[in-house]
Structure 1
Amino acid sequence: MKLESGWLAEVQQRLSPHADERPPDSAVSLLVVHGISLPAGEFGGPYIDELFMGTLDHRQDSRFAAIRGLRVSAHALIRRDGELIQYVSFDRRAWHAGRSAYAGRRRCNDFAIGVELEGTDHTPYTKEQYQVLAELAQTLIAHYPELTAQRIVGHQHIAPVRKTDPGPAFDWSYFRQLLTR
């Protein structure tokens, strides 16, 4: 993968309005892996994209009432088939982590990159997703000097009381094996 000015070349790019500038002295030093499906447990629809773009109509599905008005984004989404979509420049702050802390530092959005995998805590992620995530992580590690393989965590690790994703279905061992290739 090629990274230019915070954007991946040759992937679909969508400019989410749910992002802003990182605070000064907030170098990228953490990669947070998330899991998402909308509606919960359903894959392949337009709703994740609509959520990140701020266009999700909560009236389309009664299960969307709980996220009505939510302003959230990730830097990137990896769909079940391995398609990679980028919503926010990696140099900017995406709104993915919420209340969070890592290694004694709060507000992980300030220094983290958030990557969503289309999935659920209990549905195995696909080989394509792991391969794309590993390649993306290698690219990001090569570009951001403070980001290392040891500083890749799940959402559940930075917000353990609130979040469980990517969940027990995410195979950290397999991912780390791909990362070292």
Structure 2
Amino acid sequence: MQLDLASGWCQGISHCPSPNFNQRPLGEVSLLVIHNISLPPGQFGTGKVQAFFQNALDANEHPYFAGISGLTVSAHFLIERNGAVTQFVSCNDRAWHAGLSRFAGRENCNDFSLGIELEGTDELPFTETQYASLIALVAQLRRGYPAITPERICGHSDIAPGRKTDPGPAFDWGRLRTALEQ
């Protein structure tokens, strides 16, 4: 994969544009937020995350969907269990992934962050291929956005404590941090 800074889109991965984005107020990208998601919860490879980020989730298809189908959310990237990476929003734009959030005294983390969703749950270990794709993607993003230092890579739980728990205790932060040092 290769990040094109002019467009904010990575080449060599799937693109599934979401309508859920807007312009960054300052154009700044200085934070990376890692999340997890699965739809329905605990089920993988359903294609429902993609539908959710495109406002195309059928509320009648699963009881859980009725409560979220009206939400308009997105992330910049999704890494599926098999390691496939999909981009939904240009890195130059503000995806709607963080919600009510705060990092280093700054509110509204969507304004200055990129969001990566890992297909998974708080409790289940992520796959080897997910970590490989995540490490490659983070390296590519850090080359393009040098303000994303290792200290500015966090979980959703770090910027929305008490409200969010992802990526959860099953995420291996040590593995990611070690890979960033190499």
TM-score bracket for this pair, using the shorter chain length: over 0.9
User: Which runs of 5 or more structure 2 residues have no equivalent in the other structure?
Assistant: none
Q: Secondary structure at the match of 1:153?
A: strand
Spell out, residue by residue over 1:95-118, the C-alpha distance to the aligned partner (whole angstroms, 9 max, x if none): 000000000000000000000000
Shift of 1:154: 0.3
Equivalence map 1:1-181=2 (5 Å): 1-4=1-4, 5-24=7-26, 26-181=27-182
Does the CA-based 8 Å contact 2:32-2:114 persist in structure 1? yes
Shift of 1:179: 2.2
Does the CA-based 8 Å contact 1:131-1:178 persist in structure 2? no
Within 2, Cα distance between the matches of 1:157 and 1:170?
Answer: 13
TM norm structure 2: 0.96
Within 1, Cα distance between the matches of 2:135 and 2:154?
Answer: 13
Q: Secondary structure at the match of 1:58?
A: coil
Aligned-pair Cα RMSD in Å: 0.9
Task: Give the number of aligned pairs.
Answer: 180
User: Which runs of 5 or more structure 1 residues have no equivalent in the other structure?
Assistant: none
Does the CA-based 8 Å contact 2:21-2:94 persist in structure 1? yes
The AA in structure 1 aligned to 2:119 is: E
Shift of 1:145: 2.5
Within 2, Cα distance between the matches of 1:100 and 1:14?
Answer: 25
Shift of 1:119: 0.2
Spell out, residue by residue over 1:91-147, the C-alpha distance to the aligned partner (whole angstroms, 9 max, x if none): 100000000000000000000000000000000001111111111111111111311
Shift of 1:42: 0.6
The AA in structure 1 aligned to 2:22 is: D
Within 1, Cα distance between the matches of 2:37 and 2:132?
Answer: 18
Within 2, Cα distance between the matches of 1:85 and 1:106?
Answer: 27
